[in-house]
């Protein structure tokens, strides 16, 4: 193995930051100096520095040089999985049940979230996701028929709308909102719990190429925890 790849250089730089050799706010040497120090090409140093800058540890400015970020912005990254895979990753057997499904006109709030016209139709699907036969999460979903007409012929009893959309829609952008909410009558019944129980919820709206696809709200069974690394 070469002694100094962009990877080992990045790690070395990270430890120089962690150890305080490059203190918060400090200007660090220019790329050409570092290339000389590490005995490699400037492009290699550049790649390592860019990677650290992407992570938010460094701020780089032309002419201004590179500085260690004073208040490094930290990110928590959550994988947004297909719920079936999530349940299976937890070691349980997954299945789902459609509680309600109907084609209807959109309500005002859904129209706003999906940027729809009054005349547009939406497919409303309520799904209960289950792990080992017990309620895991309750999903309320609205789908823009105009964007994915094929959903009307999808075997949603076999494959949940969640999974079908992930597999059929090429790529999408989305908003996510996490919050806590007390269970209402509907969600309490679906999740076999009491009204008022604190539930972890995720709302997600997705679109692709400027067309709105779907919006959903997911209520997790009480006690659910979403874990991640900084």
Q: Which residues bind DNA (CB under 7 A)?
A: 1-2, 4-7, 30-32, 39-44, 46-47, 49-50, 53, 60-66
| Residue 149 found at the interface with a second copy (CB under 8 A) | no
Helix (H) or strand (E) holding 120: none
Residue 118 Ramachandran class (φ > 0 left, ψ -120 to 50 alpha, else beta): alpha
Out of a second copy, DNA, none, what residue 66 binds, judged by CB under 5 to 8 A for its kind, is DNA
As to burial, measured by CB atoms within 10 angstroms (0-12 exposed, 13-18 middle, 19+ buried), residue 90 is exposed
Q: Smallest Cα–Cα separation from 200: which of 184, 216, 173, 223?
A: 223
Nearer to DNA, 46 or 172 (CB): 46
Q: Which is nearer to a second copy, 142 or 220 (CB)?
A: 220
Where does this chain touch a second copy (CB under 8 A) — which range of 67-75, 101-109, 118-126, 127-135? 67-75
- Binding of a second copy by 143 (CB under 8 A): no
- 161: which DSSP letter? H
Q: Judged by CB under 8 A, does residue 15 bind a second copy?
A: yes
Least distance to DNA, CB of residue 68, Å: 12
Distance CA 16, CA 18 (A): 6
Neighbours of 205 (CB within 10 A): 21
Asked if residue 224 binds a second copy (CB under 8 A), the reply is: yes
The answer to whether residue 197 forms part of the interface with a second copy (CB under 8 A) is yes
225 is a site residue for a second copy (CB under 8 A):
yes
Q: In the β-sheet with 58-61, what is the strand arrangement from edge to edge?
A: 27-28, 65-68, 58-61
Give the interface with a second copy as residue ranges (CB under 8 A). Answer: 14-15, 17-20, 23-24, 57, 70-82, 85, 166-167, 170-182, 196-201, 204, 206, 208-209, 220, 222-230
């Amino acid at each position: 193995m070469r002694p100094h790849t962009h990877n080992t250089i990045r790690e070395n730089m990270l430890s120089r930051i962690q150890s305080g050799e490059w203190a918060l706010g400090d200007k660090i040497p220019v790329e050409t100096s570092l290339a000389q120090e590490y005995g490699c090409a400037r492009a290699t140093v550049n790649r390592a520095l860019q990677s650290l800058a992407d992570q938010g540890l460094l701020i780089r400015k032309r002419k201004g040089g590179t500085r260690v970020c004073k208040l490094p912005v930290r990110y928590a990254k959550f994988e947004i999985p297909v719920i079936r895979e999530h349940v299976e990753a937890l070691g349980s057997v997954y299945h789902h049940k459609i509680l309600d499904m109907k084609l209807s006109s959109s309500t005002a709030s859904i129209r706003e979230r999906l940027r729809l016209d009054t005349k547009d139709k939406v497919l409303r699907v309520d799904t209960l996701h289950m792990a080992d036969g017990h309620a895991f999460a309750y999903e309320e979903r609205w789908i823009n028929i105009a964007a994915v007409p094929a959903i009307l012929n999808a075997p949603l009893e076999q494959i949940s709308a969640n999974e079908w959309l992930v597999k059929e829609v090429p790529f999408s952008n989305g908003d996510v909102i996490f919050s806590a909410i007390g269970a209402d009558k509907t969600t309490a019944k679906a999740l076999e719990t009491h009204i008022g129980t604190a539930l972890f919820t995720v709302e997600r709206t997705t679109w692709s190429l400027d067309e709105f696809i779907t919006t959903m709200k997911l209520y997790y069974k009480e006690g659910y925890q979403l874990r991640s690394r900084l």
